């Protein structure tokens, strides 16, 4: 094994150990030689075996009691590769676990055992006494029974310690993780929900394929200008930037449509575009990525937002935005294009979707208002009324202080940030559930996924029709589900809301409940936040994010092992 090294067979992993401690940590050959010496001297050898991930008071009592049963105490520990206590275990690597035990006065030898059990080692060492904890006295685990037979067939005895102080390393580690990470237990709860198992989420993603989606909103060009190391100008204390390269990304409603296409849907983008080279280039890029474009011609150039970066850090933003000014005819034409795209039949629909689709209705219509003048509150309200009868799922999002969240009526889903929601409702200090309830009550909406930055998101929904609603419960509260941020250290938050909106809307259109839809949206956002720039998130990307969550120690739970695919919030 890799930890073999000096005369005792231990190489260690860091600073040199005191010689008296290093000499206690022995390999198999050295151990057997010392065992022979102990036997020749007529002394009794006592052996204890375990993981000893965290050496706690129960371990100390156990080892002291064992040492009192003989003349020499050997403690063997299971090596890292053989430990099967869940993802993230052992918490302490084998070299350090061995050092911790060797530092105890009551311990004479420490050995790192490669096997998953001590059976083979017990056959070789033949201890006079093998000591296990009191909990093993009635244990019928075949692994322990095999160890017991190995001891007894060589004339040794198996003794159980008193168990007067009982601790569990696994329980202690779980408690430490929960105290260090307030969202740990919530992640365990989420990943234990059958609706959020790997197979269930994969099935929802698969059901998104071929869905007809209409996206309505402004297109934006997001430009990242990568700069050299900044300096301070000599003539005055201002920042000097030297651009090295520019990278451009399609943003706004364009990237929402691109997300939908990458997730397997068939999106139609309804927008306003100039009849210019830039407008035609945008059309061509979107067509190449599977997005059909239907646009009202305007003279306004595609809005551009420039961000200046030094490394991954944004140091300045420049908005080159000329607001849209649509006359009544252009606004009417935009609404008509959206309605036609949502209501028309779709030739070539996959056969497996035929029974799940109503003629003259798209699977999802998504409205994005970035506050650039494409929608007035009246236009937006009329648009939602136009699309409601011809859309199985009607979803929307806003961005900026000039957007019109309260004009989005009868929506199945809206996805504002907490700041956007509070600004729209003019409620800055009230509990977030109350603010969400006010929005849904005023607009007749069914659900809101409110993003909280580093705190993740809250999914609020109206109570389902039934006894609770009839009793008036809807007048007093909403249901809510919290999904923590799935990526603790973001690289670039641009476009995360767009990815969330596209994935959650498609999931709802595929028949998913609000929580799985919000969770898939959070998974898509967690992919986007790890990328520099606005790029489409594919179904493969989301599947990989799901797999990482179900195999990471923060979301590990034995209840879901079989499914694993190999601002603080204010109280209401």
The matching CATH number, chosen from 3.40.1190.20, 3.65.10.10, 3.40.50.880, 3.40.50.2300, for 186-563 is: 3.40.1190.20
| Equal fold, 19-179 vs 186-563 | no
Q: What CATH number has the domain spanning 19-179?
A: 3.40.50.620
Domain extent listing, the chain: 19-179, 186-563
In angstroms, rounded to a whole number, what is the distance separating the alpha carbons of residues 204 and 517? Answer: 9
pLDDT by residue (tens digit) across 341-358? Answer: 999 854 444 434 444 445
Please enumerate in sequence order all residues whose Cβ is within 8 A of that of 449, keeping only pairs 6 or more positions apart, or say none: 413, 414, 415, 457, 458, 459, 460, 500, 504, 514, 518, 521
pLDDT by residue (tens digit) across 23-82? Answer: 999 999 999 999 999 999 999 999 999 888 877 777 888 899 999 999 999 999 998 888
Range 149-178 burial, b when 16+ CB lie within 10 A, else e: ebbeeeebebebbeeeeeeebeeebeeebe
In angstroms, rounded to a whole number, what is the distance separating the alpha carbons of residues 438 and 431? Answer: 11
Quote the pLDDT of residue 500: 97
CB 526 within 8 A of CB 454: no
CB 223 within 8 A of CB 297: no
24's tokens: 């206690």
In angstroms, rounded to a whole number, what is the distance separating the alpha carbons of residues 148 and 163? Answer: 19
The H or E element containing residue 481 is: strand 479-483
Low-confidence ranges of the chain (pLDDT < 50): 1-14, 165-167, 180, 346-357, 465-476, 553-572
Quote the pLDDT of residue 563: 37
């Amino acid at each position: 094994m890799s930890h073999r090294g000096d005369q005792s067979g231990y190489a260690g992993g860091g600073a040199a150990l005191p010689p008296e401690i290093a000499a206690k940590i022995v390999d198999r050959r050295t151990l057997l030689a010392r065992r022979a010496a102990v036997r020749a001297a007529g002394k009794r050898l006592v052996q204890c075996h375990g993981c000893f991930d965290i050496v706690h008071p129960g371990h100390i009592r156990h080892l002291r009691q064992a040492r009192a049963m003989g003349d020499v105490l050997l403690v063997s520990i299971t090596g890292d590769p053989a430990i099967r206590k869940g993802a993230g275990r052992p918490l302490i690597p084998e070299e350090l676990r061995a050092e911790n035990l060797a530092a105890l006065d009551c311990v004479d030898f420490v050995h790192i055992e490669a096997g998953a059990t001590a059976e083979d080692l017990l056959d070789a060492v033949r201890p006079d006494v093998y000591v296990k904890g009191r909990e093993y006295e009635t244990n019928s685990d075949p692994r322990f029974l095999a160890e017991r037979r190995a001891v007894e067939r060589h004339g040794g005895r198996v003794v159980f310690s008193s168990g007067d102080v009982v601790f569990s390393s696994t329980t202690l580690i779980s408690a430490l993780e929960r105290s260090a990470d307030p969202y740990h237990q919530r992640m365990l709860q989420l990943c234990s929900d059958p609706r959020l198992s790997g197979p269930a989420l994969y099935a929802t993603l698969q059901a998104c394929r071929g869905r007809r989606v209409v996206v309505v909103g402004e297109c934006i060009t997001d430009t990242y200008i990568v700069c050299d190391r900044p300096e301070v100008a000599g003539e005055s204390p201002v920042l000097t930037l030297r651009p090295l390269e520019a990278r451009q990304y399609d943003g706004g409603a364009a990237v929402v449509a691109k997300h939908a296409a990458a997730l397997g849907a068939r999106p139609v983008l309804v927008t306003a575009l100039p009849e210019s080279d830039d407008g035609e280039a945008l059309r061509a890029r979107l067509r190449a990525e599977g997005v059909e474009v239907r646009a009202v011609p305007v003279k306004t150039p595609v809005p551009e937002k420039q961000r200046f970066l030094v490394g991954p850090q944004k140091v300045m933003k420049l908005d080159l935005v000329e607001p849209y000014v649509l006359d009544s005819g252009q606004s009417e034409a935009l609404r008509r294009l959206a309605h036609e795209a949502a209501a028309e039949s779709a030739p070539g629909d996959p056969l497996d979707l035929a029974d799940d689709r109503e003629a003259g209705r798209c699977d999802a219509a998504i409205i994005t208002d970035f506050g650039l003048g494409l929608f007035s509150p009246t236009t937006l309200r009329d648009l939602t009324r136009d699309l409601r009868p011809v859309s199985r799922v009607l979803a929307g999002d806003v961005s900026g202080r000039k957007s019109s969240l309260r004009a989005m009526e009868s929506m199945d889903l809206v996805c504002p940030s907490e700041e956007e929601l509070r600004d729209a409702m003019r409620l800055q200090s009230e509990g977030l559930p109350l603010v969400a309830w006010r929005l849904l009550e005023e607009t007749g909406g069914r659900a809101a996924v409110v993003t909280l930055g580093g705190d993740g998101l809250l999914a609020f929904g109206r109570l389902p029709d039934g006894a609770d609603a009839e009793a008036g419960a809807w007048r007093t509260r909403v249901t809510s589900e919290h999904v923590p941020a799935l990526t603790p250290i973001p690289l670039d938050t641009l476009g995360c809301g767009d990815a969330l909106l596209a994935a959650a809307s498609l999931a709802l259109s595929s028949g998913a409940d609000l929580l799985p839809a919000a969770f898939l949206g959070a998974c898509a956002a967690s992919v986007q936040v790890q990328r520099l720039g606005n790029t489409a998130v594919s179904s493969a990307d989301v599947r990989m994010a799901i797999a990482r969550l179900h195999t990471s120690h923060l979301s590990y739970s034995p209840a879901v092992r079989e499914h694993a695919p190999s601002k603080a919030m204010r109280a209401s």
